[in-house]
Amino acid sequence: MSNDIYRYKSYNPILSTIFMIGIPLVAQAIYDSMHGEIAKQVRAELRNAPERRLRVIVRAYEKFRKKLPWYKKYISHDFDELWMKRDLRYSVAKGLLSHGFSWEELEKKEEEERILKQIEQEKERAKQERIEKARGIELFIGNLQEYERMKGEEYEIVKVESRDSYNCVIYRDGYPDELEKLGAMNIDALIRFRQVNPFYPRDGYGIPVRKAKRN
C-alpha cells in the first residue's frame, strides 16, 4: 500500500476506514456518512445497481486517484460536493462488493433510529405537557376552606414526602425539572402559598391540593 494512500486517508473518514482498518468497520463509516442531499443521490443511483456497475465505479475512482496531482491528494475536500459525492460513491460501491456494507443493514439502522427518535420526541412532549400543567397550578395564599369557597368545589390535600410536618412542596418557575415533577403530581393548586423572593412572585412553597373525588 502506497504512502500516498496512507497520507490521504487522514482527510477522509470513510477511506480511512477502508485503507487502515479494513472491511469489518467499513459499514459503520458509510452509515455515519449516509445523511444529506449527496447521500440521497448516491442511494438513488446505487440502491439497486448491479455488481458490474459497482466494479466500474471502483475501477474508475482508483484510476482517477492515481492521476491526481500530488497536492490534491493531501488536501481536504470536505466542502466540495463533487469530491464528496465521488468519495461516497466509491466507498459504497467498494463496501457492497466486499460485503462490508449492505443497504438492508443501513435501512434497519435507520428504522431503529427513527423509532428511538420518535420515543424521545414522545418523552419530550410528555415532559413539556407536565411543565405546562405545573405552570397552570394556582398559587393561593389562603387556607383550604378559603380556596374551596372561592372555587365552589371540594378539594383535598395531597400527601407528599417531606422533611417537616408542613406537607409543603416548592414551586420555582425557572426550573423545568422541578416543574415537571410538580406537573406529574396531578394537583390543582398550592394553598397557604408563601413567596420566598419578591423579585420572583411565583417562586415559593405551599401545600398541594386537588379536587376531591366524588363517591
The 3-class secondary structure across 153-170, one letter per residue, is CCEEECCCCCCCCCCCEE
One-letter amino acid identity for 201?
P
Name the least confident of 15-19, 31-35, 193-197: 15-19
pLDDT of residue 18: 44
pLDDT at 82 over 60: yes
Q: How far is CA 39 from CA 9, 43, 88, 101, 112, in A?
A: 20, 6, 8, 15, 19
Average pLDDT, rounded, for the chain: 82
Can you give the pLDDT at residue 180? 95
Cα three-residue angle 5-13-62, rounded to 5 degrees:
40
User: Cα–Cα distance between 191 and 197 in angstroms, integer?
Assistant: 17
pLDDT in tens, 179-205: 999 999 999 999 999 998 888 888 999
* pLDDT reported for residue 68: 80
SS3 state at 184? coil
Cα–Cα distance measured from residue 91 to residue 102, given in angstroms and rounded to the nearest whole number: 12
Evaluate whether 155 touches 210 at the Cβ level (below 8 Å).
Answer: yes
Lowest mean pLDDT among 27-36, 46-55, 103-112: 27-36
pLDDT at 3: 33
HEC profile of 61-100: HHHHHHHCCHHHHCCCCCCCHHHHHHHHHHHHHHHHHHCC
pLDDT at 22: 44
| pLDDT for residue 100 | 87
Return the percentage of the chain with pLDDT > 70, whole number.
77
pLDDT band at 23 (very low <50, low <70, confident <90, very high): very low
